Structure 1
C-alpha cells in the first residue's frame, strides 16, 4: 500500500479523478533524473533531447466497474526504455526453444498503463520554446508535466507535439507522467471513438515510438502542425530539362511582438551543391502562425526513380531574423519525381509504366513487438528488397518515420493508409458513423498526410480497408452489427479531405467483396481515385484460376478506376509439409496449413496476375507473419501465418524464393522442400525456383537432365528416385557460365525404402507407428473426412472409428471415380487397402478395384463387408510392378468408390 503522506505529495496530478502514486514512491530505489543527451545540430538553433532511458512503467490494466483505482506499490513499477510496449503477442507451437515468444511471456492485456520519468531540462533564454514530441502512443495518450495536465492525443499511430514551455522547469529536474490506454473500443468507453474498431491485428499499448524534447527559438517553423515538419514541398511539373517544386511553410511567432523574417528555401544535391533557391520577406504578427508559399525551378534535374535510381536531394528551409541571425532550420530529404495512376497503363513513375510489386507489411516483430528500432525496420526492408519487391503496402495504419526514410533511400514505393478497418461504428444498431469516429478518421488522415507529405516514396493515401463486407462480415472480426451502416458518406468525407490536403496523390482504398457473390455489398470503389482488391481465391473461397477473370470484370465495370491487387495469400507453417498440396482439404481457420500449399497458392495466383499489365500494383499478403488475437492456425497461436517470412525474420518460406526468381534480377536458385527432411516416399518430384537460363539437378552425385524456360521459373523433375538414408540434392543454375548452386539434404528411412504408405484424402499425413505420406499419386476423385473440422471458435468433432489403432490415418479418404499411379520399382509388392464407410448403407456404395488392369476386388461394398458404418475393414493382395509401376483403379458401379489408406510394401 502507498502511505497517506506519499499520496498527498503529488496533489494536482489527478487522472480522471484517479490519484497517481507519488514521485517518491514511483522512484523509490531508482536513480534520479535520467541523463538527457542533447542532439545539437549546429546548423540550426533547435535542440533535440531524446527521452529514452530511465522510464518507470506500471501496467494498471482495465478499471473496475466503478472506475476505482488503488495506487500501486513501488515494487510494482518496472524500469523500461522507450520505445516500449507492454504487449507481446503471438507464439509458435513448434521448437519453442528457438523462439522469443512463449505462452509464459505473452501479454495481451488491453487497458491502461502509466509511464513516469524525471529528466533535466536545459536552460532557456530569449523566449525559447520547449515541446514534447511523441512519435506515437497507443491507443490514446494523456500527459502530465510537473503535476499539471499538459495535453493528450487520440491517434494510436501518429506523431504529436505538446507545447511544454509554460510548465517546464528550465535547468532543473522535471517530472513527466504519461497515461497510455489501449482499451478495446466499445460504445461508451474510454476509446470508443479511436480507430480501428476491429481488425485481424492487435493494437498494442504503450509509448512504442521515441519521445523527444525539442527546444526552438520563439520564431520557428510550426511545431504544432499535426505532427508534421511545418514545411512542405511537391514536384508540380516535370520535363526532360526542368522541374518546378511548390513550397509551403508555416511560421509561428510565439513572442510578444511582431517578427520580420526572411524565409529561405534551397535545394542541394548529394554533394552539397546548391541547385536552386527561393526567399521571401514576411512579417509574422505576435502570437500568430503565418503560411508562406513559393517555388523552386531546377534545370536538368536528377530524378528519384524508384529502385533504378532513388536519388535524394536535400531541401533546406531557413528562417532568418532582420539582422541575418538564423532562427530555425528544417532539412528534408526530397526526391524530384512524379507519380500517376492510369486505368490502362497502371502506375506511372516519371511518365513511364513502373509496375508496383511487393507485400503488405505490419510493424511488429517477435523480438520487440511494436517497439521496433530503425535497425529492425531496415532488416525487414532489406529482406523484401532481396525478394525483388519495389513497393510496400503499409497496413493497416500509419507507420513510423524510419520506414518512410528508408523507403526514400532505397527507392521503395509506399502505399500509406489510416486505421479505418472493417468497422466504423461501435454499436450494433448504428446506421451512421458517430461524429467522434468520423473526426478520429479525419485526424488520422491529417496526421498521416502532414507527417509524410515530403517523402518521395509515398505514392497514395489509403483511406480504408475492407469496409465493404456488408452483412457478411466474418464473426472472428467481432460480432457483425444488426444494422449495416453505409460507408460511403464517411469515405466521401475522407476522400475530399485527402484531396484538399494533397491534390497530387491519388486517394485509394482496399475492398474485399465487390462482385464476390455476397449480398448487399456497397461499391466503395466509386469513392476513390484507384482501388485495391483484397482477393483470396483458392484460400477462403473459389480457386486461383478464377482470379484473372474476376479482375477483368472489375476493370470493365469501372473503366476509369485503376485496379490493383492489394492482398492475396494463404497460411503456411514452415514445419508442416505435404507430398501434394492438392491431396486434401486445407484448414483456412485451423491447423492444417503446410508450407507447400502456401507455395502452390502463390504460384497459381501470380499466374493470374503476371501478364495483366493494367494492374497498377500487386501486394501479396503478407510480408511477415504477424501478431493477432483472432487466430489459432498452422503451427502458431495468435499469429497470422500468411507471411512468406516468419515472425522472427529467420525463415524465408519457399514462396519467398518463388517471387525472388520472378521479381528479382539477382541470380536465384532454390530447391523447394528443404525443411521436409524425413521424406515419406522413395520417389518424389523435385521443384527448383530458378531464373537461370538453364538449370541442372544433381541427386547423390548423379546429374539429371538440364532444364530451361521453366514455367514461371519453377523447374520440375518428376519421379526422382531417392536412396535409403541421406540424399544430397543439388540444383545448379548456369548464369552465362557462372554457376549458382543450392543444396539440401533429404532423408529416407529404411521403413520407407521402396514402400508407399498413403494417407488417402489427407493433405498432411496423420501420425502412426510407421510413417505415412499425405495423399499423392492420385488421378481424379475428391478428398473427404469422417471428422468435422473446427476453427474460428468451433470445436472439431472426431468420429469414433471401430477396429483400428490408426484412427487418424483412416478418418480421411478419397472418393469418386479415381486411380493411383504408384512409381514403384519393378518387383513384387503386398498391397493393403483400408476402408471405412462414412454414412452409406449396404448396397449404396459398390465399386471395383483393379491392380495393373486386373480386378482384385469385385462389386466391393464397404458397409456390407464391415458390418456397418464407421468400422474399419482391410483387404490385402499381391501385385507385380513392371516398368510402369503400379496402377490401382477404383471404379464405382453404385455411388462413389472410396479408400481410406493404401500401403504398398515390397516383398522380400
Structure 2
C-alpha cells in the first residue's frame, strides 16, 4: 500500500457518565459534549465530571503488517484510552490533539472495544484553572483512525503531522525553507531510506530536495531538506492568500514508497514596529481584529465543519484582517480557514487568569509548569505550518501578587522561541504596564473596557498615548475591548446599560465601539486590536443581559442568526469589497419619541434619507463611515425609513410611533 489511510470514526459511540454503574449508555455521534444543555442554561454548577465513551471496532485484514493509530483532535480535558480493557495511553489538556498506537492491543478474531474516559473536572495540574467561558466536557472534536507502514512520517511527535516547514528567509526575490520530517520506524530492525520533499504550484514543481536517513528499530529520526523558491508567490493577507503545496514522500532502502504527507506552505515575512505597528511583506498592514470562542447555541463546543466555515465567512465579511483565537488552541479546520481567507492569527495556550473574578489561574507546582510546557509545544508543533499564525499567545489576565507567574512566563517565552524562532510571542494583560510581566514576551497587549467596566470610552486614547510615551520600547496592542448588547434591549437615547444586570441596550454597544475604534484607528503604533467578541458565547456563571449563561459582548448573536448594529459599523469601515448600507437601531421598532436621530452606516460617499416616500435630503459621512440626520420627525403609526445610495441600493426599516 502506497502511503497511509485516514478515516474519521465519529459515528456510533456509546456514552454514559462514570457515575452510572449499571445499564447501557446512549448512542452519540462525535463531536459531542455533555454540557450543551446544562452549561448553556446558565447553570454555574454544570457537570464537570467524567464521561465514558465506547465504540466497537472491527478488525480489517488490510491492517496486517501495518500500524494502527488513533488520533484525537481534542477531548476536554483529561483523557485515558483503553483497547480491549488494556490501557493505550493518557493525555492531559483539552485543546490539542494527541495520538496513540493501538496496533499491539487489537484482536483480529473479534470486535475490539475502545473505551475513552474523559474528565472536565478541575485539575490543579492542568491549564486552564479558571476562565470566563465554559469548560465543556467530552470528545468534542473528530477522532481519526490511521493505518501506516511501519516506516512512516510520525504521528506521535506531540500530536503533530510530523512535517515542519521553517521559513528561514523570505523576500520577493527568494524564499528559503527548511523542511524537517520526523520519520518513525516501528519495525523490529534498523532500516534506512530517503525523504523527498517537493513544493508545487498546482502541477508545476517549484522546488525539491531530498535527504537520506538511518533509523534504529522502534525509534524516530528527524530528516531535514533545504528548499529554495525563486520569485515566490507570497501569502499576502486578504489581498492574496496564496499557498503552495509541500509534499514529503518516504521511501525505504529498496525505493518503495512507504508514506506521503502534504502540507500547505504560505510564504510571507512580517514584523512589528513600536511606532508603526504590524508589517506584512514589507508594507504596513493594520490588524483590525476580532476574538473568537469555539462554541455556539445548542451545540456547545461540539462544532461541525459547517459551523467553522460559517464563522470564518462572517469574520471575513466584517473585513477583519486579524483574529485572536481565545483562550486556547482551536480546531485545526479553523486555522486552515484563516490561511485561506488571509486573516492573520494570534493563537494561544489556555494559561488564563481570573480577570475580574476571584481565584487564580496559576499554580506554582512542577506538575502545572510541565503541563503548560506540554500544551505550548503541542500547539506550536501541531499548527506550525499555518501561514496565518504570526503570534503565539502565552497568557491572559494573570495576577502577579502571591505566587508570581512572571518567571514562568519567561520560561514559556524561551521555549516558544526554541520551538519556533520565526514567530513573535505575546500576552494579554489587564494589569499596569510597568509590571515586569509586560516585558516577558516579544509583544504585549491589554484587555481594556473603558466605557463598560468603568471609565469612559474616551479614556482609551489617553491611556494608549500615556502608555506609549512612558514605555516607548513596548510594542503594544489592544487584545480585548467590547460591551454587552442584547438585540431585545432598545431605547430612545444612548445610555449605558447595567453591566452586571439584565439591561444591555444594543445602541450603547454601537456607540461604545464607535468611540473606541476612533481612538484605535488614530494611533498607528497600536500593532493590533481585537474586539471582544465576534460572537456571543457561553459563560454559565454570568447573570446578565437578556438571559443567564451568555456573555453578550459579541457583534453577532450566539446562534449566528443576527448581526448586531455594531457589526455593520465595522463592516462599513473595514470591508471595501462588500458595499455597506445599513440603518442602525432598526430593532427599536416601537418608539415613543416623535423626534429621533437616524444613523446610517455606509461605505458610500453619499446617502439620501427618505421618510414615508418623501426625501429628507442627502447626507455625507461625519467620519468613520457614519451618516446622521438629526431631529427626524416621525408620524403616529407606521413610519417607513429608507437609506438610498447612488448605485441604486436601498436599506429599509419600519418604525411605529406609539405616543404615551
Deviation at 1:558, TM superposition (A): 2.8
Structure 2 residue corresponding to 1:592, chosen from 479, 503, 508: 503
1:627 pairs with 2:538: yes
CA RMSD between the two structures: 2.1
Structure 1 residue corresponding to 2:161, chosen from 218, 226, 229: 229
Q: Is the CA contact (8 Å cut-off) linking 2:37 and 2:298 kept in structure 1?
A: no
Deviation at 1:106, TM superposition (A): 11
Structure 2 residue corresponding to 1:72, chosen from 22, 42, 56: 22
- What is residue 338 of structure 1 aligned with on the other side? 269
Cα separation, 1, equivalents of 2:378 and 2:320: 27
CA 423–248 in structure 1, closer or farther in 2 if over 3 Å, else same: farther
1:192 pairs with 2:124: yes
- What is residue 315 of structure 1 aligned with on the other side? 246
Q: Is the CA contact (8 Å cut-off) linking 2:41 and 2:548 kept in structure 1?
A: no
1:717 pairs with 2:648: no
1:392 pairs with 2:323: yes
Secondary structure, aligned partner of 1:628: strand
- What is residue 57 of structure 2 aligned with on the other side? 119
Structure 1 residue corresponding to 2:338, chosen from 395, 407, 419: 407
Secondary structure, aligned partner of 2:180: strand
Superposed CA offset, 1:271-309 (max 9, x none) = 221110010122112222111222111011101111000
Structure 2 residue corresponding to 1:507, chosen from 425, 438, 445: 425
Superposed CA offset, 1:315-365 (max 9, x none) = 001101222211110100110111212212211111211111121100001
Structure 1 residue corresponding to 2:478, chosen from 565, 575, 581: 565
Secondary structure, aligned partner of 2:372: helix
CA 429–257 in structure 1, closer or farther in 2 if over 3 Å, else same: closer
- What is residue 746 of structure 1 aligned with on the other side? 655
Structure 1 residue corresponding to 2:91, chosen from 126, 145, 153: 153
Cα separation, 1, equivalents of 2:41 and 2:460: 38
Q: Is the CA contact (8 Å cut-off) linking 1:86 and 1:107 kept in structure 2?
A: no
Superposed CA offset, 1:768-803 (max 9, x none) = xxx5xxxxxxxxxxxxxxxxxxxxxxxxxxxxxxxx
- What is residue 654 of structure 1 aligned with on the other side? 565
Cα separation, 2, equivalents of 1:292 and 1:53: 37
- What is residue 556 of structure 1 aligned with on the other side? 469
Cα separation, 1, equivalents of 2:46 and 2:20: 22
- What is residue 251 of structure 1 aligned with on the other side? 183
Q: Is the CA contact (8 Å cut-off) linking 1:124 and 1:170 kept in structure 2?
A: no
| TM-score using structure 1 length | 0.70
Q: Is the CA contact (8 Å cut-off) linking 2:79 and 2:116 kept in structure 1?
A: yes
| TM-score using structure 2 length | 0.96
Cα separation, 2, equivalents of 1:333 and 1:247: 12
Cα separation, 1, equivalents of 2:246 and 2:95: 26
Deviation at 1:410, TM superposition (A): 1.1
Superposed CA offset, 1:555-601 (max 9, x none) = 2333222111110001001110121123xx52111112100110010
1:488 pairs with 2:401: no
In the TM superposition, 1:675-686 aligns within 5 A as 675-686=587-598
Deviation at 1:709, TM superposition (A): 3.3
Cα separation, 2, equivalents of 1:624 and 1:553: 31
Cα separation, 2, equivalents of 1:388 and 1:739: 23
CA 162–441 in structure 1, closer or farther in 2 if over 3 Å, else same: same
Secondary structure, aligned partner of 1:194: coil
Cα separation, 1, equivalents of 2:487 and 2:363: 44
Superposed CA offset, 1:78-103 (max 9, x none) = 10001110112689xxxxxxxxx768
- What is residue 48 of structure 1 aligned with on the other side? 6
CA 430–604 in structure 1, closer or farther in 2 if over 3 Å, else same: closer
Cα separation, 1, equivalents of 2:336 and 2:254: 35
Deviation at 1:663, TM superposition (A): 0.5
Q: Is the CA contact (8 Å cut-off) linking 1:304 and 1:411 kept in structure 2?
A: yes
CA 429–627 in structure 1, closer or farther in 2 if over 3 Å, else same: closer
1:707 pairs with 2:657: no
Cα separation, 2, equivalents of 1:211 and 1:428: 34
Q: Is the CA contact (8 Å cut-off) linking 2:362 and 2:405 kept in structure 1?
A: no
Q: Is the CA contact (8 Å cut-off) linking 1:59 and 1:86 kept in structure 2?
A: no
- What is residue 179 of structure 1 aligned with on the other side? 117
Q: Is the CA contact (8 Å cut-off) linking 1:700 and 1:727 kept in structure 2?
A: yes
Deviation at 1:145, TM superposition (A): 0.4
Q: Is the CA contact (8 Å cut-off) linking 1:90 and 1:626 kept in structure 2?
A: no
CA 423–744 in structure 1, closer or farther in 2 if over 3 Å, else same: closer
In the TM superposition, 1:535-550 aligns within 5 A as 535-550=448-463
Q: Is the CA contact (8 Å cut-off) linking 2:200 and 2:207 kept in structure 1?
A: yes
1:218 pairs with 2:127: no
- What is residue 214 of structure 2 aligned with on the other side? 283
Structure 1 residue corresponding to 2:609, chosen from 678, 684, 697: 697
Cα separation, 2, equivalents of 1:446 and 1:432: 19
Cα separation, 2, equivalents of 1:570 and 1:351: 35
Cα separation, 2, equivalents of 1:452 and 1:143: 24
CA 428–374 in structure 1, closer or farther in 2 if over 3 Å, else same: closer
- What is residue 174 of structure 2 aligned with on the other side? 242
Deviation at 1:173, TM superposition (A): 1.6
Structure 1 residue corresponding to 2:100, chosen from 159, 162, 165: 162
Cα separation, 1, equivalents of 2:573 and 2:14: 49
Aligned length: 658
Cα separation, 1, equivalents of 2:149 and 2:471: 52
Deviation at 1:428, TM superposition (A): 7.7
Decide which moves more: 207-216 or 521-530.
521-530
CA 406–172 in structure 1, closer or farther in 2 if over 3 Å, else same: farther
CA 663–327 in structure 1, closer or farther in 2 if over 3 Å, else same: same
Secondary structure, aligned partner of 1:623: coil
Deviation at 1:239, TM superposition (A): 2.4
Cα separation, 2, equivalents of 1:361 and 1:634: 19
Q: Is the CA contact (8 Å cut-off) linking 1:682 and 1:748 kept in structure 2?
A: yes
Cα separation, 2, equivalents of 1:493 and 1:198: 21
Q: Is the CA contact (8 Å cut-off) linking 1:196 and 1:423 kept in structure 2?
A: no
Superposed CA offset, 1:4-34 (max 9, x none) = xxxxxxxxxxxxxxxxxxxxxxxxxxxxxxx
CA 72–522 in structure 1, closer or farther in 2 if over 3 Å, else same: farther
Secondary structure, aligned partner of 2:233: coil
In the TM superposition, 1:784-799 aligns within 5 A as none
In the TM superposition, 1:665-680 aligns within 5 A as 665=576, 666-680=578-592
Cα separation, 2, equivalents of 1:537 and 1:431: 27
- What is residue 378 of structure 1 aligned with on the other side? 309
Cα separation, 2, equivalents of 1:256 and 1:677: 74
Structure 2 residue corresponding to 1:208, chosen from 133, 140, 143: 140
Unaligned runs of 5+ residues in structure 2 are none
Secondary structure, aligned partner of 1:333: strand
- What is residue 790 of structure 1 aligned with on the other side? none
Cα separation, 1, equivalents of 2:109 and 2:228: 45
Higher relative contact order (CA 8 A, sep 6+): 2
Cα separation, 1, equivalents of 2:255 and 2:352: 50
Deviation at 1:740, TM superposition (A): 2.0
Unaligned runs of 5+ residues in structure 1 are 1-41, 61-68, 92-100, 186-190, 472-483, 516-520, 753-770, 772-908
